[in-house]
């Protein structure tokens, strides 16, 4: 039986694994997709203390290697259910038939990209619509693209694309961008970038692939048509906690837990972007991971499981 089972191998989950192993706990991490979470799509990390000139993929790989070197067991399966046993321990059930017994659970499932909810969006994903500029940007070298969103991710994507595409539109539903000022300044210093605010993408045009979009002005209802080769969507994220809604309290899909990372189910903790909180940054994900792991270690020791 594992001491601590961690669901999710993003920044929060891998940090939790590092702290759990350093605390002497037998630790297993389950990841449904690829280790690293959303940060692997970031071309360069600029706001993590002590680190400069490192990509998100490099950062995630170092976390993964550190956790593994300390002895954390990392498995790839989607955990679909947590069963509570009479003795206070848990059994994790995976989509590939996994069954893992453990004394404490840390939910660090992160979040996934929020879709626009437009007709044809799913069909055109991979055919002109993308949610990852660093993954797919090279396919649009010398072409015209748009980025939809106004936060750090959207602006970083637009900066990256402006260096390889002939034209980049950035579309945001508000007049002002939510991204950090230095990122916004960098973006609009580029001559091939055009802003469309306050606009939203309201329709998709295609002939089997994306050929253009309609955008609607939020203030006056004006509609424009734009010919495009690609559209990169960066309008936020939605949590991945649906499987646990009958076990722990959720708030708008996020795990209801404070800065102590304790859920309302004894023995289950949470960390990272899946938690209900105001600030979702790389540093706060790492902090959550450490907090949750230390709390889980203390719980196991005090419970004498």
The pLDDT, as a whole number, for residue 305 is 75
Active site residue 273: no
Name the β-bridge partners of 76. Answer: 31
The residue annotated as part of the active site, out of 136, 157, 229, 273, is 136
If you compute the radius of gyration of the chain from its CA atoms, what whole number of angstroms results? 21
Pairing mode, strands 223-227 and 210-217: antiparallel
The pLDDT, as a whole number, for residue 53 is 86
Looking at the fold, whether 30 and 98 belong to one and the same domain comes out as yes
- 231, pLDDT greater than 90: yes
Burial class (CB in 10 A: 0-12, 13-18, 19+), 181: exposed
Looking at the fold, whether 169 and 189 belong to one and the same domain comes out as yes
- CATH number of the domain to which 151 belongs: 3.50.50.60
Looking at the fold, whether 83 and 49 belong to one and the same domain comes out as yes
Name the domain boundary from 178, 201, 233: 233
Average pLDDT, the chain: 96
Active site residue 77: no
Tell me: the pLDDT tens digits for 14-67? 999 999 999 999 999 999 999 999 888 787 888 899 998 899 999 999 999 999
Cα-Cα-Cα-Cα dihedral sign, residues 153, 157, 159, 160 = positive
Tell me: the pLDDT tens digits for 95-135? 999 999 999 999 999 998 899 999 999 999 999 999 989 88
Name the domain boundary from 188, 209, 233: 233
DSSP code of residue 109: -
Looking at the fold, whether 98 and 176 belong to one and the same domain comes out as no
CA atoms lying within 13 Å on the CB side of residue 294: 9
Name the domain boundary from 217, 233, 249: 233
The residue annotated as part of the active site, out of 26, 77, 84, 132, is 132
**Residue 139, φ and ψ in degrees, nearest 5:** -70, -15
Looking at the structure of the chain, the number of domains it has is: 2
Active site residue 135: yes
The residue annotated as part of the active site, out of 101, 119, 135, 260, is 135
Looking at the fold, whether 108 and 241 belong to one and the same domain comes out as yes
- 86, pLDDT greater than 80: yes
Segments forming the whole domain that contains residue 13: 2-112+237-303
Looking at the fold, whether 108 and 243 belong to one and the same domain comes out as yes
Closest CA to 158 of 122, 195, 129: 195
Looking at the fold, whether 96 and 175 belong to one and the same domain comes out as no
Looking at the fold, whether 57 and 204 belong to one and the same domain comes out as no
């Amino acid at each position: 039986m594992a001491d601590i089972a961690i669901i999710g191998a993003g920044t929060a989950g891998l940090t939790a694994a590092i702290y759990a192993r350093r605390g002497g706990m037998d630790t297993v991490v389950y990841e449904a997709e690829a280790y690293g979470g959303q940060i692997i799509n970031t071309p360069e990390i600029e706001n993590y203390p002590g680190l400069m000139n490192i990509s998100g993929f490099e950062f995630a790989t170092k976390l993964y290697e550190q956790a593994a070197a300390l002895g954390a067991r990392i498995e790839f399966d989607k955990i679909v259910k947590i069963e509570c046993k009479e003795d206070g321990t848990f059994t994790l059930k995976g989509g590939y038939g996994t069954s893992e017994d453990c004394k404490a659970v840390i939910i660090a499932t992160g979040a996934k990209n929020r879709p626009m909810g437009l007709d044809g969006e799913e069909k055109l994903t991979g055919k002109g619509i993308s949610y990852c500029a660093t993954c797919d940007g090279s396919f649009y070298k010398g072409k015209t693209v748009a980025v939809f969103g106004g936060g750090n991710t959207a602006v970083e994507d637009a900066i990256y694309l402006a260096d390889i595409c002939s034209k980049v539109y950035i579309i945001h539903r508000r007049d002002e961008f939510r991204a950090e000022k230095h990122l916004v300044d960098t973006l609009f210093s580029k001559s091939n970038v055009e802003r469309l605010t306050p606009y939203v993408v309201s329709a998709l045009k295609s002939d089997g692939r994306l050929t253009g979009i309609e955008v609607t002005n939020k203030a006056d209802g004006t509609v424009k048509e734009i010919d495009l080769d690609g559209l990169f969507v960066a309008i936020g994220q939605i949590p991945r906690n649906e499987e646990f809604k009958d076990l722990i309290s959720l708030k708008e899909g996020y795990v209801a837990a404070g800065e102590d990372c304790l859920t309302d189910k004894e023995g289950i903790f949470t960390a990272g972007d899946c938690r209900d909180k105001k600030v979702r940054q790389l540093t706060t994900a790492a902090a959550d991971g450490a907090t949750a792991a230390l709390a889980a270690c203390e719980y196991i020791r005090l419970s004498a499981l």
